[in-house]
Amino acid sequence: MASSDSFWNKRAKLSVVLIRSVCLVAVALVCSVLTVSTVRGSEHPLGDRATLIVGGSSVSIADYPYQVALVQAANDDSFQGQFCGGTLVDARWVVTAAHCVEGTNTDEPDEISVAVGKTRLTQMGPGDRYPVEAIYSHPAYNDVGNGSVTNDIALLLLALPVPPTVGTPVPWLSDSTLPGNGTPIISSGWGSTDHKTAGPFTDSLMAVTVYVDGNPYDSYFTCGSDGSFESATRLCIDSPDRKGTCSGDSGGPNVIEVSGIKYLAGVTSYGLMDSEGYCAKFQNVLARVSTYVDWIEFYVGTFRPVTPNAPAFWSPGIVPKARAQYEACPAVATIPSAGFTDLDSVDVDCIFYYGITKGKTATIYSPDDPVTRWEMALFLTRMAHVAGVPLGDGSDQGFTDISGESAEIQVAINQIRQVGVTIGKTATTFAPTSDVTREEMALFIERFLSVANAGPGGANDLVVDDDHERSSGVGVALALTDPSLIVTNYTDIDSGATYTIDSSTTHEGRNAIAHLWHMGVTSDDSSTARSYSTVYRPHEAMTRLEMAKFLARALDHTNARPKGVTLQAAQYESDGEKRVLWAGMTWPTLSVSFRDGDFMPLAGAPIDVFYYEIPEEGERFDFTTAGLCNPALDGPVAATNAGNKCSTDFNDQITDVDGNAVPTVGAIPMGKTWNIYAWTAALNTVYDKNLHQDDASRLDITTTETIRDTAEDYSFASLYNQNFDGIDLSGSSFANALITESIFSNSLLIGANFSNASGTGVLFTNAALPAADFIGATLTGAHFGGADLVGANFTNSETRGSIYIEAILQYAKFTDSDLQQSDLTLMRATGADFTGADLSQTLLTGANF
Q: Which of 90, 107, 152, 823 is catalytic?
A: 152
Report which secondary-structure segment, H or E, holds 595.
strand 590-595
For residue 706, give Cα distances in angstroms to 264, 770, 813.
58, 9, 19
What CA–CA distance (Å, rounded) separates 557 from 475?
8
Dihedrals phi, psi of 746, to nearest 5 degrees: 65, 10
Under 8 Å CB-to-CB from 361, ≥6 apart: which residues? none
Dihedral over Cα of 785, 791, 792, 793: its sign: positive
What CA–CA distance (Å, rounded) separates 584 from 606?
28
Q: Are 106 and 83 in contact (CB under 8 A)?
A: yes
Which residues on neighbouring strands pair with residue 226, listed in sequence order? Answer: 223
What CA–CA distance (Å, rounded) separates 245 from 143?
20
Give the β-pairing of 660-661 and 142-143: unpaired
Whether 468 sits among the annotated catalytic residues: the reply is: no
Q: Which of 15, 99, 524, 745 is catalytic?
A: 99
What CA–CA distance (Å, rounded) separates 833 from 1?
66
Q: Are 37 and 21 in contact (CB under 8 A)?
A: yes
CA 591 to chain centre: 28
What CA–CA distance (Å, rounded) separates 22 from 603?
66
What CA–CA distance (Å, rounded) separates 137 from 191?
22
Whether 152 sits among the annotated catalytic residues: the reply is: yes
- State the amino acid at position 466 in one-letter form: D
Closest CA to 237 of 113, 430, 55: 55
**Residue 172, Ramachandran bin (φ over 0: left; ψ between -120 and 50: alpha; else beta):** beta
Dihedral over Cα of 393, 399, 403, 404: its sign: negative
Closest CA to 807 of 826, 791, 777, 786: 786
Q: Are 370 and 341 in contact (CB under 8 A)?
A: no
Q: Which of 32, 113, 148, 250 is catalytic?
A: 250
Dihedrals phi, psi of 381, to nearest 5 degrees: -70, -35
Dihedrals phi, psi of 501, to nearest 5 degrees: -70, -40
Centre a 10 Å sphere on the Cβ of residue 337 and count the other Cβ atoms it contains: 12
Please return the burial class of 56, using the count of CB atoms within 10 Å of its CB with bins 0-12, 13-18 and 19+. Answer: buried
Centre a 10 Å sphere on the Cβ of residue 160 and count the other Cβ atoms it contains: 14
Dihedrals phi, psi of 129, to nearest 5 degrees: -115, 130
Strands (E), 190-260: 192-195, 199-201, 206-212, 234-238, 253-258
Q: State in Å, rounded, how far the first CA of the chain is from the last one.
A: 58
Give the β-pairing of 154-158 and 129-137: antiparallel
What CA–CA distance (Å, rounded) separates 61 from 58?
10
Catalytic residues: 99, 152, 250
